[in-house]
């Protein structure tokens, strides 16, 4: 007569063998799936495995051993499970761990989309900005031609033409022997910010050559500054006819080298028309310290281009007056489109950050002479005689 106890024991042994066999199969399936999912793929290339990636922390090495390794099965509210497999055998279900996997994939997709949008923005920025060269003739100066390069965002220009917005205005002034079209890396920054950037050609082949006269005011450069002021005023008058929906009463003046001196000269003469000043290595005209507007200046490290004494005020005065001085290791002639890409990229980044801050300045008390209304000597300064 068969023993009931022996039959029960055989059933228990058989059940344990089935459990171990199913557990080994589940572990092998999980490892195989993990190897497939280790193949390279991106957010737009789906996994080669049809289900979510398994959580390998749920498994223990059961192959080749009879020791019991307990499994931790995570259940998620609202997630369908294979109740029998999970409840009785504790093996991995395709649905277990899905929320965590979906979260990881969602984060990957979000990061990829953000990168794609950033690349698309900078790729299309040049297309979105329109450049146009215009030439005006000044009848008050024997029809002197004044050429300008205009940079403006197409969408902002359409809004301005419809009377929806008023464009802020930036005036760009080139350096000596550099063309007015060779500062697009600056004009594009302003245009991307919603400005209409106007770069003016100040020199003509028929103009008298610029000379340096040691001992004279601005080493004899004042006639060129006065000519630059006349060009700016005339160009602004003509641009008001081309694009009337722009703020020509609050200008941001920008310049490089001699053009930077022209910008400061204009700001000294017409401080009420100035919003901000940006200079790239001005050498002659001193900075204003009355704090009426913010000033950003990039300084070169070029032994051939020395800044005159008294141009840059002391640090304590700069802090009170809203003057930001950026000491660079760049050459004086690198600060145009001719310069290296890393130079232009650095200047663009700092300029863009400077334009973000539109908080008003509080004027400070100074001992500087009152603002002038007509061209003439501006700063009571002459180069030191040697």
Q: Which comes out higher in pLDDT, residue 68 or 18?
A: 18
pLDDT at 70 over 50: no
Q: Which comes out higher in pLDDT, residue 1 or 176?
A: 176
pLDDT at 158 over 70: yes
pLDDT at 91 over 80: no
At residue 37, the pLDDT reads: 57
Q: How many Å apart are CA 277 and CA 255, to the nearest integer?
A: 9
DSSP 139: G
**Residues in CB range of 318: below 8 A, 6 or more apart:** 287, 312, 324, 325
At residue 21, the pLDDT reads: 83
Q: Which comes out higher in pLDDT, residue 383 or 300?
A: 300
Lowest-confidence segment of 164-168, 333-337, 347-351, 380-384 by average pLDDT? 380-384
Lowest-confidence segment of 121-130, 148-157, 177-186, 263-272 by average pLDDT? 121-130
C-beta of residue 129 within 8 angstroms of C-beta of residue 186: no
Give the rounded distance of the alpha carbon of 97 from its chain centre: 40
At residue 194, the pLDDT reads: 96
pLDDT at 338 over 80: yes
Q: How many Å apart are CA 96 and CA 79, to the nearest integer?
A: 8
Q: Tokens representing 234? A: 């005339």
Could you tell me what percent of the chain has a pLDDT over 70? 66
SS3 147: strand
Q: How many Å apart are CA 366 and CA 172, to the nearest integer?
A: 28
Mean pLDDT value of segment 151-160: 96
pLDDT category of residue 373 using cuts at 50, 70 and 90: very low
At residue 221, the pLDDT reads: 82
Q: Please classify residue 52 by burial: count the beta carbons closer than 10 Å to its beta carbon, then call 0-12 exposed, 13-18 middle and 19+ buried.
A: buried
Q: What are phi and psi of 63, to 5 degrees?
A: -75, 130
Q: How many Å apart are CA 153 and CA 159, to the nearest integer?
A: 10
**Residues in CB range of 99: below 8 A, 6 or more apart:** 76, 79
DSSP 181: T
Which region holds residue 194: left if phi is over 0, alpha if psi is between -120 and 50, else beta? left
Range picked from 44-58, 186-200, 215-229, 345-359 for highest mean pLDDT: 186-200
At residue 54, the pLDDT reads: 52
At residue 243, the pLDDT reads: 97
At residue 32, the pLDDT reads: 65
Q: Between vectors from CA 229 to CA 224 and to CA 232, what angle results, nearest 5°?
A: 125
pLDDT category of residue 382 using cuts at 50, 70 and 90: very low
pLDDT at 14 over 90: no
pLDDT at 347 over 90: yes
* CA-CA-CA-CA torsion sign (23, 28, 34, 37): negative
Average per-residue pLDDT for the chain: 79
Predicted TM-score of the model (pTM) = 0.64
Reference 255, options 376, 168, 170; nearest CA is 170
Could you tell me what percent of the chain has a pLDDT over 90? 53
Q: Tokens representing 375? A: 């061209």
pLDDT at 119 over 70: no
Q: Tokens representing 352? A: 């863009």
Lowest-confidence segment of 55-59, 83-87, 183-187 by average pLDDT? 83-87
Q: How many Å apart are CA 51 and CA 56, to the nearest integer?
A: 14
At residue 55, the pLDDT reads: 54
C-beta of residue 279 within 8 angstroms of C-beta of residue 373: no
């Amino acid at each position: 007569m068969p023993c009931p106890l022996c039959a029960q024991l055989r059933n228990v042994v058989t059940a344990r063998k089935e459990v171990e066999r199913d557990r080994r199969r589940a572990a092998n399936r999980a490892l195989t799936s993990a190897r497939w999912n280790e193949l390279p793929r991106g957010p737009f290339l789906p996994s080669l495995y049809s289900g979510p990636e398994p959580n390998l922390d749920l498994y223990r090495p059961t192959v080749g051993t009879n020791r019991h390794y307990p499994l931790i099965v995570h259940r998620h509210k609202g997630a369908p499970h294979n109740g029998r497999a999970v409840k009785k055998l504790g093996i991995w279900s395709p649905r277990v761990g899905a929320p965590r996997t979906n979260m990881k994939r969602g984060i990957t997709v979000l990061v990829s989309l953000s990168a794609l949008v950033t690349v698309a923005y900078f790729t299309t920025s040049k297309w979105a900005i329109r450049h146009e060269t215009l030439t005006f003739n000044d009848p008050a100066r024997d029809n002197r031609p004044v050429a300008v390069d205009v940079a403006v965002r197409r969408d902002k220009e359409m809004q301005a033409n419809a009377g929806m917005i008023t464009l802020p205005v930036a005036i760009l002034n080139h350096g000596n022997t550099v063309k007015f079209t060779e500062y697009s890396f600056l004009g594009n920054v302003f245009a991307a910010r919603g400005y209409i950037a106007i770069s003016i050609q100040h020199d003509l082949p028929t103009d008298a050559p610029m000379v340096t006269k040691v001992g004279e005011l601005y080493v004899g450069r004042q006639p060129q500054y006065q000519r630059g002021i006349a060009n700016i005023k005339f160009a602004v008058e003509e641009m008001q006819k081309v694009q009337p929906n722009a703020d020509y009463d609050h200008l941001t003046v920008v310049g490089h080298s001699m053009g930077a001196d022209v910008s400061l000269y204009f700001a000294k003469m017409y401080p009420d028309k100035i919003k901000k000043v940006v200079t790239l290595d001005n050498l002659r005209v001193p900075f204003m310290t009355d704090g009426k507007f913010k000033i950003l200046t990039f300084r070169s490290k070029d032994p051939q281009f020395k800044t005159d004494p008294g141009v840059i005020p002391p640090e304590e005065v700069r802090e009170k007056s809203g003057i930001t001085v950026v000491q660079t290791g760049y050459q004086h002639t690198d600060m145009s489109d001719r310069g290296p890409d890393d130079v232009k990229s650095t200047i663009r980044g700092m300029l863009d950050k400077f334009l973000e801050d539109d908080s008003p300045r509080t004027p400070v008390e100074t001992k500087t002479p009152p603002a002038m209304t007509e061209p003439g000597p501006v700063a009571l300064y002459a180069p030191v005689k040697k």
